[in-house]
Amino acid sequence: MKAFFVYMTAPSKEEAERICSALIEERLAACANILPGASSVYWWEGKVETANEAVCILKTTAAVYHELERRAVELHPYKVPCVVALKLENGHAPFLEWVGAETK
């Protein structure tokens, strides 16, 4: 079973909770960690911007990642949200099995 960490940012803790809760309820992720208070610096529309954001780390499988990405973008308030997957090469087997069991 191939598992992923999905890294996503959101404009606030509340928005992150709303999006992550929906993804978990829809069985597209087994769980999410929400880390509020991230400071972001980025290029947007030709200038440097700064923002306070919440970082989300979701655990999912390769089998449902594309559906998770589609749904996260649909739920997200940003025009171009950051939703990226990082393949897990190794991990505690019972945890990875749980991730697989808790997703579609």
Distance CA 6, CA 57 (A): 6
Residue 96 token pair: 């990875």
pLDDT at 1 over 90: no
What would the pLDDT profile of 89-100 be if each residue is shown by its tens digit?
999 999 999 999
- Whether the model clears a pTM of 0.75, i.e. scores above it, the answer is yes
- pLDDT at position 51 is 97
Q: Exposed (0-12), middle (13-18) or buried (19+): which is 19, by Cβ within 10 Å?
A: buried
What would the pLDDT profile of 44-85 be if each residue is shown by its tens digit?
999 999 999 999 999 999 999 999 999 999 999 999 999 999
pLDDT at 22 over 90: yes
